[in-house]
Amino acid sequence: MLPIAGIWGGNAGGKTNILDALRFVKAFVTGEYETARGGIPVRGFRPGSPDDPTRFSIVFIVDGRMWLLEFSLTRSGVIDEALYWHTKDGIGDSGWRSVYSRTTDDGGDAVVELQPAACPELPGWDAELCGRLAECARGTGPYRLFLSNTVGQRIPVFAHLYGWFDSTLRHAGADTQYTRFSRMLTDERYCRMFGGILRALDTGVDRVGLEEAPASEIERSMDPRFLARLESDGDTMYQLVHQPLHDITDAVYLVTKKDGNISVRRVQTYRRRPDGTEERFGFENESSGTRRLLEVLPVFTDLWSGDTECVWLLDEIDKEFHTDMTQALVRRVLESSGVLMPTAR
């Protein structure tokens, strides 16, 4: 199994659309659009009609077993859905076996056909489970997959498959990754790890960490909705990417409320002077490439460590990066997976 895969192509070739489709599948399986107003945000591909069904088909691996989930839908709801598992040997045929298939009747209700004998490895696959699944099928709405509804009804038979979409499949973006990176900086182990990576990649940064900042530095421009959430959530951590304000540009803060007290900490980078002493440099003063690196470091930390099973979607990995840095990041992923032997550093 390949530890990393890349998509190359010219502008307007559809590369981002592939990742957007995977993000949509994750969101739809996990129920993000169950209460969508105005219909499911999907449309048919050109040159067909925007009302034509869109079909999704994704093969994924859970506990060493290959699964295939397929479904088609329009803005009005799911038209059909099917789950298959692979026998591994595939002798004499494709090796795929149907676990269930779902169609939609004239009234818009889900009709599910179960194949309990097809996949004996699924836990608790007996007459009682089939009865619960049949009842669950009757209650599956047009904006929801049958797979998702079984988990919502606390029927655990497909929970591990749902978990792959919910937890294993992940997408990286600045809106989520700065928050995660900032949280990780509260752990000294990650501070040391990130510092080592930044030095190895020759960014000029010696270490990165959090420093206390006065609340007045950001309170004037904080969104009132942010303050409301902070007040209602109690001991919660938030991240705020500061836009230009006086001499502050793209600074990243952690705003923490604990025991009723609000504290503000700012992501800070430090560099080593020729005499060996350390100086504060400032995240907002770093190059766009270094800021981009800090944004995606949590992604690569997951991939390098191997502690967590995850599949990351990362668009434009080379954005803001020098070619050598992109190559170094990818090489470390391949080395950590055993595909390449480590090179001398």
Confidence at residue 247, expressed as pLDDT on a 0 to 100 scale: 45
Query: Residue 158's pLDDT band (boundaries 50, 70, 90)?
Result: very high
E strand or H helix at 230? helix 224-233
Distance CA 97, CA 119 (A): 8
Residue matched to tokens 């590369």: 15
Contact status, residue 242 vs residue 250, Cβ threshold 8 Å: yes
The encoded tokens of residue 179 equal 């928050």
Contact status, residue 82 vs residue 101, Cβ threshold 8 Å: yes
Report the pLDDT averaged over residues 49-68: 89
Q: Which residues contact 61 (CB under 8 A, 6 or more apart)?
A: 1, 67
Confidence at residue 262, expressed as pLDDT on a 0 to 100 scale: 77
* pLDDT (tens digit per residue) in 264-310: 888 899 999 999 899 999 888 888 888 888 888 888 888 887 777 88
Contact status, residue 303 vs residue 12, Cβ threshold 8 Å: no
* pLDDT (tens digit per residue) in 218-277: 776 666 666 666 666 555 666 666 554 444 456 788 887 777 777 888 889 999 999 989
Contact status, residue 281 vs residue 273, Cβ threshold 8 Å: no
Report the pLDDT averaged over residues 103-130: 78
* pLDDT (tens digit per residue) in 31-44: 988 877 778 988 76
Distance CA 265, CA 250 (A): 14
Report the pLDDT averaged over residues 177-194: 82
Judged by average pLDDT, the poorest of 26-40, 64-78, 134-148, 209-223 is: 209-223
Answer yes or no: is pLDDT of 332 > 70: yes
Confidence at residue 248, expressed as pLDDT on a 0 to 100 scale: 45
* pLDDT (tens digit per residue) in 256-272: 777 777 788 888 999 99
Judged by average pLDDT, the poorest of 138-147, 165-174, 245-254, 310-319 is: 245-254
203: nearest Cα among 294, 276, 333, 112:
294
Confidence at residue 54, expressed as pLDDT on a 0 to 100 scale: 92
Residue matched to tokens 């309170």: 219
Query: Residue 149's pLDDT band (boundaries 50, 70, 90)?
Result: very high
SS3 61: strand
- Following DSSP, what letter does each residue of 277-319 receive, concatenated? -EEE--GGGS-HHHHHHHHHHHHHHHHHH--S--EEE-S-TTT
The DSSP bridge pattern shows strands 110-114 and 169-171 to be unpaired
Triad 92, 93, 96: Cα angle to 5°: 135
Mean pLDDT of the chain: 82
Three-state SS for 173-210 is CHHHHHHHHHHHCCCHHHHHHHHHHHHHCCCCCCEEEE
Distance CA 152, CA 155 (A): 8
Cα dihedral 24/28/31/32 (nearest 10)? 30
Distance CA 53, CA 55 (A): 6
Q: What amino acid is encoded at 232 in this protein?
A: S
